Chain A
Amino acid sequence: MSKGRFGTHGGQYIPETLMNAVIELEAAYEHYKNDEAFNRELTELLNEYAGRPSRLYYAKNMTENLGGAKIYLKREDLNHTGSHKINNVLGQTLLAKKMGKTRVIAETGAGQHGVATATAAALMGMECEIFMGEEDTKRQALNVYRMKLLGAKVHPVKSGTATLKDAVSETMREWTARMDDTHYVLGSVMGPHPFPEMVRDFQAVISKEIKAQLMKKEGRLPDAVIACVGGGSNAIGAFYHFIGDESVRLIGCEAAGLGTDTPSTAATIATGRAGIFHGMKSYFCQDEYGQIAPVYSISAGLDYPGIGPEHAYLHDTGRAEYVAVTDDEAVDAFEYLSRTEGIIPAIESAHAVAYAMKLAPTMDKRKIIVINISGRGDKDCAAMARYRGEEIYE
């Protein structure tokens, strides 16, 4: 079996043209991940620039309102650029710089990863080009402006369904054309090895902090950690340091869109099956002939037909559970958290909040749930208003 496997999942299903680029990346990552100076520099960036560690906030109102388990919110939304994406981006951009690359390219769905990449490129003086589905450039016009403001060039992708999967395909095509001076900052725990492992390592800071923070506040481990899953980077980051702690339930919330019994869904574990796409073997939404399905979710960031290979493996082994949350439930949770705690979550993160709202009341008051609030919801306000039938101008 080839490199980068999680059970049967993972691997390196990419054109020969890219093989030496990923081999070079793997060698650089293997070297720098244990390099003291690199880690010192990255930690300094994460702390001083991105604002880590992010807070672990006891959501008292929500806990009392739901009347069950004690709820903590991991506030990745408070990071610089407004989401967990910056953790991975600072790691990869710093690595790219050490590798002598002068240009970074990235895909983006909701625009959070694109904004984070444009930010890191501005900081480190690198050229930056972002590929974004044309459909998403309309849904997330504000983020397109932010990326341009930060000095990035934004390419609307018109092929296929003009959403996240097409943005990934187009960024891969661009990388195939130019890799000498260019690093592809993949935004999730997906793609060919070493990306799933490397992105996980850069995001694992989330669970490392949760563990230490909760130990300090409660003197124990949580009973459940809940996170939303598209490709799955914030979820794997929130799960990683708990994988060995069997008592901690790990729950990934997929985007069910209009429902897993409709074609308008992006819930990969619920409706997909094993396949090979975007450089990896994993689970994908696809038809009987392996054609990738045009998925749907209200959340541009979860609107992806696959899931990272490590999640596929955690699903196979039963270590993590994956549940599907509909648009309606996510929008309700978006509004609920805003009113109850004064925290506007990203619509992506609202999928995790929605499931916690169902789970918490079924649990004993002595139990503890941690929800990863992967991003802030300012970017979603116009779309949520439209969902409720109100037209507002951004």
Chain B
Amino acid sequence: MSNIRKAFEGGKAFIPFITCGDPDLDTTKKLVRAMAEAGADIIELGIPFSDPTAEGPVIQAANVRALSGGVTTDKILDMAAELKKDVSVPLVFMTYANVLFSYGIERFIKRAREAGMDGVILPDVPYEEKEEFSPLLKKYGMDFISLIAPTSKERIEMIAREADGFLYCVSSLGVTGERSRIASNVGEMTSLVKKVSDIPTAVGFGISTPEQAKAMAAAADGVIVGSAIVRIIGEYGADSVSRVSQYVKTMKQAIRSA
């Protein structure tokens, strides 16, 4: 069983997302350690991309901050290796296809594995294009995290059958970002998944409050939060660590009471 799947064994999982190098890699390291300490079960590390087409304004801005600070794929891989010396929580990279393709897909995966990373999420690589990435990740013992969306419908079974690690359930149409209301029926999506697979499901996109997290956790095995955390980092920069840590604690508590 992969480290990612094991992370769901102790109850509902809380999965925070941050962008590497926002505002600098030192802060990223502090944030990862603080979030692990505060109860994060898996941590998503975004490798910034110049044109993140699946992101809303908050994470777009984080990408701009990180890239203008001079962060690169190599620096992030080095940082991951350093973190994994003491951080036991599974870490997954979230980035765009071109970041891997440009680096050399296998070269990237090999280095990520050596650094101790457990998986990769690529929002611009759907089921139809995964053959270029998924077998190589498997070869090095990493999980290719698949996504399903409210529009996936009959595609859900096909995707779930071949999914590794956990299945990322996109809660809403559109891009990442906090929403006051989550309209789609997440329970319907996750029950379709459970019909064909025992893969854990985690819901993301739009979740920011403990109430939302609790409601989503009732319908899934985990909750992913990005923009709400990135917004705190955007506001407080290097001084955001304790605030983010407190937020993660609150959210974890909320989903564990679901």
Contacts and interface: CB of A to CB of B under 8 A. Distances in A.
Interface of A: 1-3, 11-21, 159-160, 165-166, 169, 172-173, 176-179, 274-279, 281, 284, 286, 288-292
Nearest to A1: B131
B98 A277 contact: yes
B129 A12 contact: yes
A179 B153 CA distance: 14
Nearest to A176: B174
Given A2-B128, A275-B101, A275-B102, A16 B49 contact: no
A291 B49 contact: yes
A262 B3 CA distance: 47
For the complex of A and B, the 10 pairs showing the least CB-CB separation, nearest first, are: A290-B102, A177-B174, A17-B149, A276-B97, A291-B50, A290-B98, A2-B128, A292-B50, A16-B147, A276-B98
Contacts of A165: 51
A40 B51 CA distance: 40
Nearest to B170: A17
Nearest to B76: A289
Given A2-B128, A17-B173, 12 more contacts: A1-B131, A12-B126, A13-B124, A13-B129, A14-B124, A18-B151, A166-B51, A173-B54, A179-B173, A275-B101, A284-B98, A292-B50
Contacts of B175: 173, 176-177
A172 B103 contact: no
Interface size bucket, B side? 35 or more
Kindly name the residue among A1, A15, A172 whose own CB sees the greatest number of chain B CB atoms within 10 A: A15
Nearest to B73: A289
A12 B127 CA distance: 10
B53 A172 contact: yes
A160 B125 CA distance: 22
A286 B98 contact: yes
A1 B132 CA distance: 9
Contact of A15 (B50, B102, B123): B123
A11 B153 CA distance: 22
Contacts of B74: 289
A212 B209 CA distance: 65
Contacts of B50: 160, 291-292
Given A2-B129, A13-B129, A179 B151 contact: yes
Interface string B40-81: 000000000111011011001000000100001110000000
B168 to A, nearest CB: 9
A14 B126 contact: yes
Kindly name the residue among A2, A16, A281, A284 whose own CB sees the greatest number of chain B CB atoms within 10 A: A16
Contact of B151 (A17, A279, A290, A291): A17
B131 to A, nearest CB: 8
A14 B125 CA distance: 6
Contacts of A177: 173-175
A74 B17 CA distance: 53
A16 B149 contact: yes
Interface string B15-27: 0000000000000
B210 interface: no
A230 to B, nearest CB: 17
B103 A289 contact: yes
Nearest to A170: B53
Nearest to A158: B57
Given A13-B97, A275-B102, A276-B101, A176 B173 contact: yes
B99 interface: yes
A279 B72 CA distance: 23
5 contacts: A2-B129, A16-B159, A17-B149, A19-B152, A275-B102
Interface string B79-115: 0000000000000000011110111000000000000
Given A20-B155, A159-B60, A172-B53, A15 B149 contact: yes
B148 interface: yes
A168 B80 CA distance: 33
